Amino acid sequence: MTVTTIELTFSDREVVSFIADRSMSLMEAAAKNGVRLASDCLSGTCQTCKCEMASGKIAYEDEHEIALDDGERAAGAILPCQAKPLSDVIRLSMPYTRISQLPRRSRKLVITAIRRVSDSVFEVAGKCHGGRMFAFLPGQYVNLSVPGTDAVRSYSMMTPPEQEEVGFLIRALPNGAMSTYLSASAKAGDVLSITGPFGTFYRRRETGTCIMVAGGTGLAPMLSMLRERARRRDTDGPVVIAFGVNTDRDLFYRNELEALKAIFPGLRVLVAAMSHGDDWQDATGTAVDLVTSDLIGPPPTATAYLCGPPAMVEGARRKLLDMGMSREQIFAEEFQPTGAN
């Protein structure tokens, strides 16, 4: 049996190492050694497990199934769920702490309310059978079953942990499995399976400006983070929300965002739509267009959270890097085409 030494460095500088059989994926080897890594689909498409390889060599059995573009690969990104070791030593940099990967749980979620908050967004609230929602970190997501189908879709919570009722913002997509259910037959009392938590997108501790760039329903994890901060009375410091929608008819939660200013004295809310009517009073463009250097403050102390379509996330990341922020200060969650709505 040929083996490889795997060394993992987590974002809090904890280092874990173990021996891996080269016939196994890095994810499988970690699990065999009692190390829980971020994961979801386990097929190379969701990117939840994405990390950076500092040194070593790996291979994928099917390169065509790996959802990493050339730029990501050139920067050292790999997907441990599919990567198998080829070299004697592999060193990986994990963009999260080990303790952030909480145990996965499954519950039955009973819908308590459904509301359409814009032309393209549903608000869905529910409570878990038999008690509170399982533990999660603000910003993480869960998988929800679509009643009457075999489909499972992924959504970030917009509510904070330790709250009895959990809420989601769900984009309405033409012919989408969840969209069709919500539009045609969903009602209070319906029961969905819920599993989680998943993801490496969660709130870190900021020392400077907290920048939140959200496209559409990418606002949900930002609200979870802010509501958790409010619950803990951690409301000091500058916060910028740059929120973009496609059209003015897609805009939602404007009043809710404005209401947060009474809780967060240093909060600035900026809104943009790519197209709109003549009475539109906010910016024209995308959420990325709203981000300017004067909002960030000293770049070395800022922390940025990005959530939305891949093009928006990458555009915001490039802009923030050009402004002097480092990759270590930028945390992102991209909408993936499969299992996102």
Helix (H, G, I), strand (E, B) or coil at 301: helix
Q: Is the dihedral of CA 282, 304, 319, 142 positive or negative?
A: negative
Residue 339 lies in a domain: no
The domain that contains 194 carries what CATH number?
Answer: 2.40.30.10
In single-letter form, the type of residue at position 21 comes to: D
Do 170 and 248 lie in a common domain?
Answer: no
Answer with the one of 198, 225, 251 that is the final residue of a domain.
198
Q: What pLDDT does 339 receive?
A: 43
Do 327 and 241 lie in a common domain?
Answer: yes
Q: What pLDDT does 64 receive?
A: 66
All residue ranges of the chain with pLDDT < 50 are 339-341
What tokens does 142 get?
Answer: 């869960």
Task: Give me the domain span that covers residue 171.
Answer: 105-198
Q: What pLDDT does 274 receive?
A: 97
Answer with the one of 76, 99, 122 that is the final residue of a domain.
99
Supply the pTM of this predicted model: 0.92
Do 238 and 328 lie in a common domain?
Answer: yes
Q: What pLDDT does 305 receive?
A: 98
> Which pLDDT tens digit goes with each residue over 208-239?
999 999 999 999 999 999 999 999 999 999 99
Residue 94 lies in a domain: yes
Nearest to 118 by CA among 228, 281, 276, 309: 276
Residue 223 lies in a domain: yes
Residue 74 buriedness (CB in 10 A; 0-12 / 13-18 / 19+): exposed
> CA 327 to CA 157: how far, in whole Å?
25
Quote the number of domains for the chain. 3
Pinpoint the alpha helices (H) of the chain.
26-32, 70-74, 177-184, 219-231, 254-259, 293-296, 310-322
Do 109 and 194 lie in a common domain?
Answer: yes
Answer with the one of 65, 99, 133 that is the final residue of a domain.
99
> Which pLDDT tens digit goes with each residue over 67-85?
888 888 988 999 999 999 9
The domain that contains 85 carries what CATH number?
Answer: 3.10.20.30
Q: What pLDDT does 307 receive?
A: 98
